[in-house]
Structure 1
Amino acid sequence: MAGSLIFEFQLELPEHDAEPVAPGQPMRLLVLGDFSGRAPDTPLARRPIHRLDLDHFDQVMARCAPALDLTLDGAPATVRFTCLDDFHPDQLYQQAETFQPLRNQRQRLSCPTSFAAAAAQMQAPTTPAPSPAPAPAQADGGDFASLLGGAVRPAAPRSDIDALVKALVGAVPGTDTRQSSYLAAADSVIGARMRELLHTPAFQRLEAAWRSVHKLVTELELDSGLELYLVDISKDELAADLKSAGAQLQQSALYQLLVERPRQSPDGAPWSILVGDYRFDAGEEDVQSLSALAALASQAGAPLLAGAHDSVLGCAQLASTPDPDDWTAPEAAASERWQALRASPHAGWLALAVPRMLLRLPYGKLTDRIDHFNFEEADGQLDHDHYLWGNAAFGLALLLGQAFNAEGWDMDPGGQLELDDLPAHTFRRDGEAHMQACAETWLSDRAAEAVLRLGLMPLRSLRDRNAARFQRCQSLAQPPQALCGPWQR
């Protein structure tokens, strides 16, 4: 076996016996994930750990300074965020540079005193950009105004603005000078750009990360007894650190973050639960990472909750193939790795959940109205990948935190399995009303059992309700066993 190898590890870790929970010891949840959208400058071993609560959420987000360097319609665009509202279309439209020319033109169209001139510009033919040459001085009207009728800035190659202007001019009938028609055409182009941004995978990942953490902050009773922390570390960073350490896991930066740093804190209280905003598959790199993380979780005395990729089940997307008969048996090597991981000594410290859960409704007048322009994120049923899905590990962390709020360390990790008050999106198809599954799809009993047999925790949407339920709280281990944690000491 290629890696019985990795799982017997022969990982060199110092002996560490789990200590009983001290009287009054708080439950401390640490969330690990990519919260900046880029590689932080601070080395991982010294990466700051931020304490979160409702009063300081925006401050922590501002300190993490999330930002994305994207390509929208072929042109570079940087989008920065300082608070959760910055992910909303109204804020994006008002603040993101990529919308500035469109915003300026729409303002001119909406103003009675500037409408005629703006409409005349839109009727004028656009001038093709000449070959690159030194850029002339730019008029105060900006890129959008110049492309609509003035001189084109030749220093830039064909830009996203150029394409949008052509689309906007084409959207307005040449003989129609009614203000409402021009504004509708402008909103159509702005809406297309907004959908492109909202549905860019990197944007979705960052928005989902922050909305998931915000869900914990708002739905848990955080105080001195239940504390929530965050550390910015991408999945690639995590894998690289573990690979670099090899068998010497105590030399890894993650060992310092998860094991040593809590022991050196003033009260010496350890982490209680680790929440990884990652999805793992059965590939060699992910399985190696999981096996090392299980050992670190055991040392820390805190189980790791994370997500499983649909490919572990043998399908590319569970939502489109929820029937186990349509799943493909894994390759022999992948199956061997997965079974070896489940049989490894520390697998009881891992919990992987699937599928994901819905984090927000699509934007629109019936769900979440946009103030600054007419916008419908969904026209009828939204494409599955265009919904904002979040890692189900956050749902499990929420339930465990709520159990602690209610019962303290006498909690039963499997006593509460249902997530309620999830976003509920209804749409019409073939003349009938339908509800989008809150956890991606509707899993049959047979499908849920198939997921359980792989050691995963299935999250099942409940029909006709904005709720979902975990089938069981279990670890990844084989034979099946309860999830290890400080509640067992």
Structure 2
Amino acid sequence: MPRAPPGRGGARGRRRVRRFQPASDRGKFLDMQAGQHEEPVMGSNGSLLAELLAETGVASTSGAYHDVKRGVEAVVGKVAGRPEAGAALDSALIDLWIAEIDQRLSRQIDEILHHPVFQRLEAAWRGLKFAIDHIDFRENIRVEILNCSKDDLLADFEDSSEVVRSGLYKIVYSSEFGNFGGKPFGAVISNYEFGPVPQDIALLQKCAAVATMAHAPFLAVAGPQFFGLKDYRKVPHLGDIKALFEGPQYVKYTAFRESEDARYVGLLLPRFLLRLPYGASTSPIRAFSYEEDVVGNHAAYCWGAPTYAMATRLAESFARHRWCLHIIGPQSGGTVEGLTLHEYDALGAIQTKIPTEIMLTERREFELSEEGFIGLTFRKDTDNACFFSANSAQKPKYFGQSDEGRAAEVNYRLGTQLPYVFLVSRLAHYLKVMQREQIGTWKERGDLERELNSWLSQYVADMDVVSPAVRSRRPLRKGRTSVTEVEGSAGWYRVHLEVRPHLKYMGAYFTLSLMGKLDRE
């Protein structure tokens, strides 16, 4: 609201009015005496109120004119109604009135900023900005934004007779991966929160189906409702996580985890802090003195989806190595640096609000990963956090105690890890492109197999000891493709891809596989 200097009144007194002064020049206000009359003093050009309104620069036709007029009337009324006749309106009194206005504005701004609807909107945009700010677009990385609510996405799937007719399928698969010259999506990052309720699991299954067909893993947020809670703060204090997920309310989620499509889904938690509260010592506001009231109110902070943090790990790994393998571990690409810490005074001591909603212990992070979740773990006394694992939602299978069974179990378990899902997905994108280029060439099965193996060999380094630089460029220890004809389907070849990354799991090498089809003509 415009701040007007007080005027000197009086039935016959001389009226002296100066132009408005900015807030920084409050000490230059004209020292004027309040008149004995409560009515505004009239001048040759109209009332004092009219002149004050003219000084605001707000046109009478403006939509804000009515609110400005009410504000000016309130100030003039406060001046005219002072009981101390003839008392000076010094700068201290003006500052007191301004502080009162600032307090009222602050309470109103708090109500807006802390409303759940506004919080979701702010978190979505600030989370997106966080991810964009940490992506080097000079490294052949593209980001496309889809403005679609969770309810709208569910409605689209329900209105479609099958997944391949849905809008998400057309955007993620048809427009790029399924289009000649298209650039396949490497991942689908969402800020949707999911729980164990049937409606959420149904939507997750649809998204997983699209992600599987497009070989683009789908990342989403595991909401606190997954654990029967209203917020994450009680997650560290839960009992046996494994026993919890054996309850009847998780039947749908367990069935989803046992599906093949669940391999392309990552569920992350907890949220992380996106900005400091507004205040003179944290994030000052120039327009007026505003101190955002968040101390003791956990929900008042601006929390962002952890999927945005994972997006930065994927982008950095791709920028450095051209593969999204290096996304976990403190020294292997899993650290999210430069997070927001809020330090504030409480009971005479400096307290710190950590950048993640909860602090996960190693044990709790492991338990969550075993149930298909990816935890963001805060490093104490720092401003960073780390992803120590990246399990997909798929549940590992048990193959028995034989040597073959244990080897199969290791292969299957590692196949559920997102870093290796990203590895195989990128190879699948290349195979799809090469398949299109070979259509109409009349090549035989053996010719295609030799060409594919020759192409794959550029990513293979079959050595026991490999330097980190070579391992980054050639992430495979072994790789082989086999091409066979599809019986009963003229014009089709079946391609089987087997790769072995440079990694031993529990002392044993493991193999990842992918099956696809190629057009012969």
- Calculate the TM-score normalised by the size of structure 1: 0.65
1:371 corresponds to which of 260, 269, 286: 286
The alpha-carbon distance between structure 1 residues 103 and 452, as it changes in their structure 2 partners (threshold 3 A), is farther
Partner amino acid, structure 2, of 1:482: Q
Q: Quick check: 1:364–1:370 contact (8 Å CA) kept in 2?
A: yes
Query: How do 1:25-424 residues align onto structure 2 when only pairs under 5 Å count?
Result: 102=1, 110=23, 112=29, 142-143=66-67, 145-146=69-70, 149=73, 178-223=93-138, 225-246=140-161, 248-263=162-177, 267-320=181-234, 322-325=236-239, 329=244, 332-378=247-293, 381-409=295-323, 411-414=325-328, 415-424=332-341
Matched residue SS, 1:267: coil
- Give identity over the alignment, percent: 25
Shift, 1:115, TM fit: 10
Query: Counterpart in 2 of 1:70?
Result: none
Partner amino acid, structure 2, of 1:259: Y
The whole-number CA distance in structure 2 between the counterparts of 1:465 and 1:115 is: 55
What's the CA shift string for 1:217-237, capped at 9, x where partnerless?
221111361111111111111
What's the CA shift string for 1:315-369, capped at 9, x where partnerless?
2211255311398946944210111111111101000101101111111111111
What's the CA shift string for 1:389-440, capped at 9, x where partnerless?
1000111111011011111137334342211110111122232222112111
Matched residue SS, 2:137: coil
Q: Quick check: 1:105–1:145 contact (8 Å CA) kept in 2?
A: no
Partner amino acid, structure 1, of 2:70: S
The alpha-carbon distance between structure 1 residues 193 and 331, as it changes in their structure 2 partners (threshold 3 A), is farther
Matched residue SS, 1:352: strand
Shift, 1:446, TM fit: 3.4
What's the CA shift string for 1:172-228, capped at 9, x where partnerless?
998795101001001101111111111122222122111112122221111361111
The whole-number CA distance in structure 2 between the counterparts of 1:427 and 1:362 is: 10
Query: Counterpart in 1 of 2:373?
Result: 456
Q: Quick check: 2:177–2:185 contact (8 Å CA) kept in 1?
A: no
Partner amino acid, structure 1, of 2:122: E
The alpha-carbon distance between structure 1 residues 275 and 412, as it changes in their structure 2 partners (threshold 3 A), is same
The alpha-carbon distance between structure 1 residues 245 and 146, as it changes in their structure 2 partners (threshold 3 A), is same
What's the CA shift string for 1:242-292, capped at 9, x where partnerless?
12225x111111111111011465622211111011111111111000011
1:442 maps to 2:442: no
The alpha-carbon distance between structure 1 residues 201 and 173, as it changes in their structure 2 partners (threshold 3 A), is farther
Matched residue SS, 2:138: coil
Matched residue SS, 2:192: strand
The alpha-carbon distance between structure 1 residues 423 and 103, as it changes in their structure 2 partners (threshold 3 A), is farther
The alpha-carbon distance between structure 1 residues 330 and 347, as it changes in their structure 2 partners (threshold 3 A), is closer
What's the CA shift string for 1:69-126, capped at 9, x where partnerless?
xxxxxxxxxxxxxxxxxxxxxxxxxxxxxxxxx4678989957369999xx89xxxxx
Query: Counterpart in 2 of 1:487?
Result: 423
The whole-number CA distance in structure 2 between the counterparts of 1:139 and 1:236 is: 35
Partner amino acid, structure 1, of 2:188: L
The alpha-carbon distance between structure 1 residues 337 and 187, as it changes in their structure 2 partners (threshold 3 A), is same
The alignment covers a number of residue pairs equal to: 352
The alpha-carbon distance between structure 1 residues 455 and 183, as it changes in their structure 2 partners (threshold 3 A), is same
Aligned alpha-carbon RMSD (Å) = 3.5
Query: Counterpart in 2 of 1:465?
Result: 382
Unaligned runs of 5+ in 1: 1-101, 122-136, 151-164
Unaligned runs of 5+ in 2: 6-19, 40-60, 397-412, 428-521
Question: Which deviates further from its counterpart, 312-321 or 183-192?
Answer: 312-321
The alpha-carbon distance between structure 1 residues 449 and 250, as it changes in their structure 2 partners (threshold 3 A), is same
The whole-number CA distance in structure 1 between the counterparts of 2:181 and 2:31 is: 65
The alpha-carbon distance between structure 1 residues 317 and 173, as it changes in their structure 2 partners (threshold 3 A), is farther
Partner amino acid, structure 1, of 2:69: A
Q: Quick check: 1:307–1:393 contact (8 Å CA) kept in 2?
A: yes
The whole-number CA distance in structure 2 between the counterparts of 1:275 and 1:341 is: 20
The whole-number CA distance in structure 1 between the counterparts of 2:64 and 2:391 is: 63
Shift, 1:314, TM fit: 2.7
Query: Counterpart in 1 of 2:344?
Result: 427
1:477 maps to 2:394: yes
Q: Quick check: 2:324–2:422 contact (8 Å CA) kept in 1?
A: no
The whole-number CA distance in structure 1 between the counterparts of 2:32 and 2:362 is: 60
The whole-number CA distance in structure 2 between the counterparts of 1:365 and 1:272 is: 42
The whole-number CA distance in structure 2 between the counterparts of 1:412 and 1:419 is: 13
Question: Which deviates further from its counterpart, 410-419 or 189-198?
Answer: 410-419
Matched residue SS, 1:194: helix
Shift, 1:469, TM fit: 1.4
